[in-house]
Amino acid sequence: MSAQISPEALREVALSREEYDLAVRLLCREPNTVELGVLGAMWSEHCGYKNSRPLLGMFPSEGTAVLQGPGENAGAVRLGGGLAAVFKVESHNHPSAIEPYQGAATGVGGIVRDIFTMGARPVALLNSLRFGPLDERESRMLLAGVVRGIGDYGNSLGIPTVGGEIGFSPSYRGNPLVNAMCVGVAPADELVRGLAGAPGNVLLLVGADTGRDGIHGATFASVDDPQESHKGVIQVGNPFMEKLLMEACLELLGSPHVVGMQDLGAAGLTSSSVECAGRTGSGVEMDVSQISRRETGMTPYEVMLSESQERMLLVVTPDGADAVRRVFEKWDLHSDVIGVVTDDGLLRVRDGAVTVCELPVHLLTEDVPRYTRVGKPSTALLARRERDITPLVAGVTLPVHEQLLTLLGSPNIGSKRWAWEQYDHTIQTSTTLGPGAADAAVICVRQTGEGLALTMDCNSRHCLLDPYAGGMGAVVEAARNLACVGARPLGLTNCLNFGNPEKPEVYWHLSECIRGMADACTTLGIPVVSGNVSLYNESERQAVYPTPVVGMVGSLPDVTKAVGLGFREGCAVYMLSAGPVPTLAGSEWLAVLSGVDAGLPPLPDLDGEARLHELLRSGINDGWILSAHDVSEGGLAVALAECAIAGDAGLPAALPSEAMSVEHLFGETPGVVIIGVRADQSTTLETRSSQANLACHSLGVAVGRDLTVEGVFTIAVEQLTAAHSRALEAQVTRFDP
Amino acid sequence: MKIGVITFPGSNGDMDCIHTLEQIGGCEPELIWHKSTDLLAADALVLPGGFAHGDYLRVGAIARFSPVMREVERFAGAGRPVLGICNGFQVLTEAGLLPGALLRNQHILFRCAWVHVRVESTGSPWLAGAQTGQVLKVAVAHGQGNYFADSDSLNGLQSRSQVALRYCDADGVVTADSNHNGSVLSIAGVTNDAGNVLGMMPHPERSSDPLLGSSDGRVMFESVVRSLIGVAS
């Protein structure tokens, strides 16, 4: 049946021969060129989640706070005062590999549209970035371009970029990860959905004109090796246009004429119209000749698959189009009536009088092939996990205080100030704990005084070595970071960055990470309300480290109660622990000082974590815990140094004798937090921690200008700060942009 | 007192100004759309930060042609208080209401940080309640805040006390390190000859709440309200 179609034509749309045959069988005919393009886009991993959807079913997505779960433009959870937090994370990895500035900028643009499409005003941006080694020129160039792209776009929109993470590892060489998260606030009862509604409703395309940029972006995101061929598909961002679009769309909130909104992202008009129709079980009919173009001679195929940025699809009532268009005119935005909602369940595209595409919506949404594969770790990975790291540890002969300074100055642990100073994080006058100040960013919800706490986390080395523990670790670390500012998690979004899932070892990582994340979410009671899957992150046939980035949103009733990570002079400093013994296996210490990622990282104790987080929240909101910081990469010694640097205060710490080994100072384990307690409340802490069955060690009182671990080292806070602050800047400024 | 905050397409600090002004006793802030030629009987005007008209061509270059700007010029010409913050400062220099120009930061990059400025002159109604030499902790967030004027203009600015704010360290000392964007003479803000128009790169509206890191910016809004009350009574 499919003898006619050439392998080239299939490669162009990234469909396999089997998938093509399936489509022909379901359609009872061969698709024409336009239809083939539409099929390829909708059946891509990026739009159709064909490899990941069966696995995503493991995530819990329900809870009392959930207002909108997965399947919409973004998820939403309930806040106080009748408000909702709307949030999602999305990747723009492949475009950023080719053109870091525009790739990252349009990544921000896309995720912001997802949020205001839901009727929410964006109040914060975060990002999670991964690059190859910082001492390589290409990585520095990508870092500089991505950071500038994120900054220029978000700064122009007036949305503060308040947090995130940046990591470096050789596995991201040639395939950086650029994940952007946006959070918005909306009245809970006015959330807008991407719905087509009743037949006869009018489709309005608003914003930028349609050009040839980004054609095949969705399929491009679903093949490996971005460097190879796809330079023509990069979109170019226009934040000014997006700002106007955002203000106009938000001005339309509550309008009785607006039935649905859907932004145009991957696969452009094709996916946005199909998704709207699919959600209400209706059809859509569009005339591409009515669409304003920025180039002449564009074919219907190109118009349907263009990924030109800053465009929105609105579904409006038949009598409301004029009123809606007047709002866009106020903002000098152009809008075209391009079609109507029908009741025949078809995506029908006309070019004037000629029908160029007629496909069942069902075929494009529900009939997407689903693959459940069998995963298996590679033998190389098994060897890495089982490697005895004892000789490596013994091989590190650097004095302990120099080990600490080396770690503080290393790219993964060092200060990211160089990056976040390029992001406007004070606009909207609501950032109470900005970048670098606390374990999670905290912003004030102006209407209610509630604090919104936000974080993004993932330790990809742990995910490589033990994907179940690593996936779980990403969730518990995010939850712990929220607890460290006093917030309770409300919901989670994720961006699953993996290699080619057709490889058994990649699929094993994907499925095990998801299983670990899902178990953590279920035990801690945190619903997954939105997410994004980015597969085929490979270059030169090597997959990136499995990187399931978790974005978490939490809240605390009174924003003024939130605490930072820095020592406060005079506070009694304690170490609270719910975790297993620290280990150097899979640690940052081992990676930095031996150059090896090996061993089995520890598995979080979920029940212990839950008790720890509860204690932190209670102590912070009751005002007797005045600072909190979790122990993560670099272990206890680095955590203490970070508290000293952030608080610009010293600590003479006395550690229990068994905790003075390199394993205890630099080993990593989940569930350990350094807290500063009001001097007169030590007894409260000791009682509460013993009730919660948490190990609690008094370390000393924060005072002076030195960080001392008795019997091990004394380093001036200034020296720690100098090592930490220069980490990124010293490297990046080697590159002349 | 009615304080008009002008929204250009691309302005993004307008709502921050409204929010902060609402916290200042005696202030009634109101937005004014850039296509309007009605200043809504405002007693003072604020041109907020952002990227008016996308900063296309050159920062502030298109905004000066927005319809509202003719009214702003008339308002300023009548000696009434006008404050340009960040992009608003850039617009005022393009419109010729303030001397000098704002170039790309010396280190090229956009920079968002807390800095200190020293009050050099209190002649403007926006600074009348501050003390000369007073140090304010304020937020900056800009890519093009490197103030420039030629040496003749600078001599004139200094002799007429038009230099309102200079970047300094926490102790009020003007140092090379504290001049974070390379501005000539570390200038962070200037006034027109009459003093009623003030332009500044730092954001007083983001520096008016201790919870956000500083409330030192409030003095500017409180000053203008007090001087307007003085005029009215």
Exposed e or buried b for every residue in A291-310, given b needs 16+ CB within 10 A?
A: bebeeeebebbbbbbbbbbb
B34 part of the active site: no
A429–B141 CB contact, under 8 Å: no
* Contact at CB, A424 and B141, closer than 8 angstroms: yes
Task: Give pLDDT, residue A224.
Answer: 60
Give the C-alpha separation, A322 to A317, whole Å: 10
Please give the pLDDT value at position A511: 97
Subunit contact B16:A243, Cβ cutoff 8 A: no
Residue A269 is classified by DSSP as: H
**What is residue A734's predicted lDDT score, i.e. its pLDDT?**
60
Q: Please compute, for residue A413, the number of CA atoms within 13 A of its CA located in the half-sphere on the CB side.
A: 31
CA dihedral A473, A475, A481, A482 (to 10 degrees): -160
Q: Closest-CA residue in chain B for A333?
A: B9
CB neighbours (10 Å) of residue A325? 18
Q: Which structure tokens are listed for A391?
A: 């000789």
Which chain B positions have a beta carbon within 8 Å of A238's beta carbon? 54
> By the 8 A CB rule, do A557 and A358 touch?
no
ipTM: 0.97
Query: Which 3-state string (H, E, C) describes A199-256?
Result: CCCEEEEEECCECCCCCCHHHHCCCCCCCCCCHHHCCCCCHHHHHHHHHHHHHCCCCC
Give the distance from residue A244's alpha carbon to the nearest chain B alpha carbon, in angstroms.
7
Domain count, chain B: 1
Q: How far apart are CA A670 and CA A428, in angstroms?
A: 34
* Cα-based distances in Å from A224 to A235, A378, B4: 19, 19, 54
Question: In B, residues 68-127, which contact A (CB 8 Å cutoff)?
Answer: 108-113
Q: What's the CA gap between B201 and A443, in Å, rounded?
A: 24
Question: Which of B53, B56, B206 is opposite residue A426, by nearest beta carbon?
Answer: B206
The partner residue sitting opposite A155, judged by closest CB among B110, B113, B206, is B110
Task: Count the alpha carbons within 13 Å of B84 in the hemisphere toward its beta carbon.
Answer: 35
Residue entry with tokens 């490197």: B146
Q: Mutate which of B86, B110, B138, B221 to disrupt the A interface (most A C-beta within 10 Å)?
A: B110
B203 is catalytic: yes
Question: What is the β-pairing status of strands B146-148 and A538-539?
Answer: unpaired
User: What's the rounded mean pLDDT across residues B162-190?
Assistant: 97
Closest CA to A532 of A53, A35, A16: A53
SS3 label, residue A628: strand
- For chain B, the residue count is 233
| Helix (H) and strand (E) counts in chain B | 5, 11
Output the pLDDT for position A226: 53
pLDDT tens digits for B73-106?
999 999 999 999 999 999 999 999 999 999 999 9
pTM of the shown model? 0.96
Task: Provide the Cα torsion A196, A197, A203, A204; round to 10°.
Answer: -90
When scoring A426, A431, A561 by the number of chain B Cβ atoms within 10 A, the one with the most, hence best to mutate, is A426
Give contacts of B13 with chain A, Cβ < 8 Å.
158, 427
- Whether chain A has a CB inside 8 Å of the CB on B199: the answer is no
Residue A329 CB: number of other CB atoms within 10 A?
Answer: 12
Cβ-Cβ pairs closer than 8 A, A with B, add up to 82
- The residues on A that touch B, with CB distances below 8 Å, are 148, 151-152, 155-158, 238-241, 243-244, 331-332, 420-432, 444, 446, 559-560, 737
Residue A22 DSSP class: H
Q: Does B10 touch chain A (CB under 8 A)?
A: yes
Q: Which domain holds residue B194?
A: 2-232
State the catalytic residue, choosing from A46, A257, A462, A629: A46
CA dist., res. A284 & res. A490, Å (int): 36
Cα radius of gyration (chain B): 16
Are A723 and A401 in contact, with CB atoms under 8 Å apart?
no
Tens-place pLDDT, residues B187-230: 999 999 999 999 999 999 999 999 999 999 999 999 999 999 98
CA distances from A614 to A298, A457, B146, B182 (A): 58, 20, 48, 48
Q: Are strands A706-709 and A651-653 parallel, antiparallel or unpaired?
A: parallel
What distance in Å separates the CA atoms of residue A559 and residue A92, rounded to the nearest whole number? 32
Question: What are B81's strand-pairing partners?
Answer: none
A346 vs A363: CA distance, rounded Å: 9
Type of residue numbered A62 = E
CATH number, position B14: 3.40.50.880
Among B231, B204, B232, smallest CA distance to B219 is for B204
Q: In whole angstroms, what is the distance from residue B201 CA to residue B142 CA?
A: 8
Tell me the helices (H) and strands (E) count for chain A, helix number first: 27, 28
State the DSSP string of B185-231.
Answer: GGEEEEE-TTSSEEEESSBGGGSSBGGGTB-TTHHHHHHHHHHHHHH
Give strand pairing partners of A166. A129
Q: What residues contact B62, with CB distance under 8 A and at least 6 apart?
A: B52, B53, B56
- Asked whether the beta carbons of A463 and A171 are under 8 A apart, the reply is no
pLDDT at A212: 87
Predicted local confidence at residue A737, as pLDDT: 44
Please tell me whether residue A392 adopts helix, strand or coil conformation. Answer: helix
A657: exposed, middle or buried (C-beta count within 10 Å: 0-12, 13-18, 19+)?
exposed
The answer to whether residue B112 is catalytic is no
Which of B5, B8, B12, B207 to mutate: most A Cβ within 10 Å? B12
CA distance, residue B103 to nearest chain A CA (Å): 17
| DSSP 8-state class, residue A726 | H
pLDDT at site A233? 64
Query: Mean pLDDT, 10 residues at a time, over chain A (737 residues)?
Result: 77 92 96 94 90 93 95 95 98 94 96 96 98 94 96 97 97 96 96 92 95 73 55 78 96 93 91 93 96 93 92 95 95 95 96 96 94 94 96 95 97 96 98 98 97 98 98 98 98 97 96 98 98 92 94 98 98 94 96 96 96 98 98 97 98 89 95 97 97 96 97 97 90 61
Give me the catalytic one of B71, B94, B120, B205. Answer: B205
Cα separation, A298 vs A211, whole angstroms: 8
User: Which residue among B12, B49, B212 sits closest to A431, beta carbon to beta carbon?
Assistant: B212
Name the amino acid, one letter, at A207: G
Angle formed at CA B173 by CA B169 and CA B174, multiple of 5 degrees: 85
Q: Confirm if A487 and A556 have CB atoms less than 8 A apart.
A: yes
Cβ atoms A237, A106 nearer than 8 A: yes
pLDDT the model gives residue B233: 66
CA atoms A263, A269, A275, A277: torsion sign: positive
Place of tokens 């900028």: A105
